Amino acid sequence: MDNLVPAPVRVDGNDQGTGFLPDHSTTLLAGPGTGTAERWLRSSLGASLGLPLAPARPGDEATGNTVELRVDPALAPEAYQLTVAPGTGVRITGGDPAGVFWGAQTLRQLLGPEAFRRAPVASGPVRPVPFLEIEDAPRFGWRGMMLDVARHFMRKDDVLRYLDLLAAHKLNVFHFHLTDDQGWRVEIKRHPRLTETASWRARSKYGHRASELWDETPHGGFYTQDDIREIVAYAAARHIRVVPEIDIPGHSQAAISAYPELGNTDVIDTSTLSVWDTWGINPNVLAPTDTTLRFFEGVFEELLELFPADTSPFIHIGGDECLKDQWKASPAAQARIAELGLRDEDELQSWFIRHFDTWLTARGRRLIGWDEILEGGLAEGAAISSWRGYAGGVAAAEAGHDVVMCPEQQVYLDHRQDGGPDEPMPIGYVRTLEDVYRFEPVPPQLSEEAAAHVIGTQANVWTEVMQNRARVDYQVFPRLAALAEVAWSPLPAPGERDFAGFERRMSEHYARLDALGVDYRPPGGPLPWQRRPGILGRPIEGPPPNV
């Protein structure tokens, strides 16, 4: 019981007997509102143990061989209590259906790494669950991971797998970065060229953008609308909210290549643009025209149908790294600035963002964007993802805006994990497992009122140098487990955290990741097939600045 990740709030154990050992007669008693946990236990835990976990019949609970699920609204949302006692079996009580589900995830960890496999590997039982009582609840309501599928596409089945990995770590937000200069990944029926043209690029830079190497294989793919519905439903069954991102007005060359009228046609010949094949900040941004507004209103109309409000209350519109050079040179953009009475191009971007904030608010959604959307003024109800450091999040929280803390210097998982020469395609600062474990999402200078606007944290996974699932696994794990504990558990100040204890608990968690087939970075460094010798990266030396 001392190997749980993330660590629960309180665990009390005793030595009365050997504990609870499920067998073929174990039954599942599911109360009202616990259907998601019941179905997950039967399909996942039942499969790994080779047990039917049949529905309980009257009197089964008296035998002490029952897993009972129930909701008690007296508990906080997402909170749960897990009790294992002689003669009563396992009882998981959640403050809501999500709390019951997180309690079920804890039960799987208590049963040992074998419970993470898809089929039983031995004829004997798993280890018994000790008699104990756990009380647990999350620190933050937003505990997430952003996955970039625009730079390198990830197949639908691999996305579903990542949703299972998030659920296994009690993470409840999947930020789905669907569009960028290098590809458009979601089917929009009224604009078919977004997938016919914008979802494929002819080749890809191999390594950092300064690398001389190219992968000449065409790269791309997209999710059909039914694929998206399946992903959203799969996430909802695991109490994971999906935050779709359509990046505007920058990072839009893929869309402009399909529909040249979206670009600044009075500055460049946009008909010559193709889906971008390298990395970095692209100068080709959307034109601030009515044509562009109507086009993306159509995109968002279809998107809102695919991502229902109960699963996706937030819609991410990007807003980052929008170079203003073309707007400065564009007579049409300058005329719009004058028409609207704006001071400059920053306010023009703010006008663009505010338009979609108003549009989304009218349809019952909340806009969230990267911290650049603060420039020129932020719409009242908008939230931000603070990526350039803490400063944007601090400014937003003090102004009364909700904030998700995800500073590049701390929780960008594309950054390298070690300073040694074997790290594959080394990018950015060294961010070790311990560094992520000591990350603190709430800056100490915030007032209590402002700190309440830090609604959570997430790790960001940008995939320029992650060509496949194995590379994503290597960069994400084991550091995502540390982020999960930061987001869930009531940890002390960063310098006081028991990293040695976390490492000890990780020794068993690695076995769980092995059972799940995760290609994580081993504690001793990359395995030979995980290295990428000779591929240029962009390592940044020294500790990251606290900005």
DSSP codes of every residue in 478-526: THHHHHHHHHHS----GGG--HHHHHHHHHHHHHHHHHHT--PPPTT--
**Token couple for 212:** 């001389």
CB atoms within 10 A of CB 445: 10
Nearest-angstrom CA–CA distance, 143 and 241: 10
Q: Give the dihedral sign, CA 440/445/448/453.
A: negative
pLDDT of 123 reads: 65
- CB neighbour list of residue 517: distance below 8 Å, 6 or more residues apart: none
Q: List strands edge to edge, sheet with 27-30.
A: 10-13, 132-136, 80-85, 89-94, 66-71, 27-30, 54-55
Nearest-angstrom CA–CA distance, 166 and 162: 6
Specify the amino acid at residue 344: D
Cα angle 354, 360, 366; round to 5? 90
**Token couple for 395:** 């400014």
Nearest-angstrom CA–CA distance, 272 and 184: 18
pLDDT tens-digit profile of 390-405?
Answer: 999 999 999 999 999 9
Residue in the structure block whose two tokens are 């769980």: 512
Residue in the structure block whose two tokens are 């695919």: 306
SS3 state at 394: helix
The single residue of 321, 346, 398, 508 carrying the catalytic annotation is 321
The single residue of 169, 191, 219, 251 carrying the catalytic annotation is 251
Residue in the structure block whose two tokens are 């009582």: 133
Q: Where are the alpha helices (DSSP H) in 403-494?
A: 408-411, 433-437, 448-451, 469-476, 479-488
371 is a catalytic site residue:
no
DSSP codes, 145-199: EEEE-SSS---HHHHHHHHHHHHHTT--EEEEE-EETTEE-B--TTSTHHHHTTT
Cis peptide before 22 (omega within 30 of 0): no
The single residue of 180, 227, 485, 519 carrying the catalytic annotation is 180
Nearest-angstrom CA–CA distance, 244 and 299: 12
- CB neighbour list of residue 449: distance below 8 Å, 6 or more residues apart: none
Positions of the chain with pLDDT lower than 50, given as ranges: none
Q: Give the dihedral sign, CA 72/74/79/81.
A: negative
pLDDT of 1 reads: 54
How buried is residue 357: exposed, middle or buried, by Cβ count under 10 Å (0-12/13-18/19+)?
Answer: buried
Nearest-angstrom CA–CA distance, 264 and 335: 13
Nearest-angstrom CA–CA distance, 334 and 41: 59
**Token couple for 331:** 């007579």
Cα angle 124, 130, 131; round to 5? 135
Phi, psi angles (nearest 5°) of residue 358: -60, -40
pLDDT of 16 reads: 56
SS3 state at 285: coil
pLDDT of 444 reads: 95
SS (H, E, C) 303-350: HHHHCCCCCCCEEEEECCCCCCHHHHHCHHHHHHHHHHCCCCHHHHHH
Give the residue among 254, 336, 329, 245 at the shortest CA–CA distance from 291: 336
pLDDT tens-digit profile of 408-448?
Answer: 999 999 999 999 999 999 999 999 999 999 999 999 999 99
Q: Do residues 279 and 208 touch, judged by C-beta distance below 8 A?
A: yes
251 is a catalytic site residue:
yes
Give how far Cα 172 sits from Cα of 101, 143, 291, Å.
11, 5, 36
Give how far Cα 167 sits from Cα of 213, 471, 484, 503, Å.
37, 20, 10, 21
321 is a catalytic site residue:
yes
DSSP 8-state assignment for residue 289: S
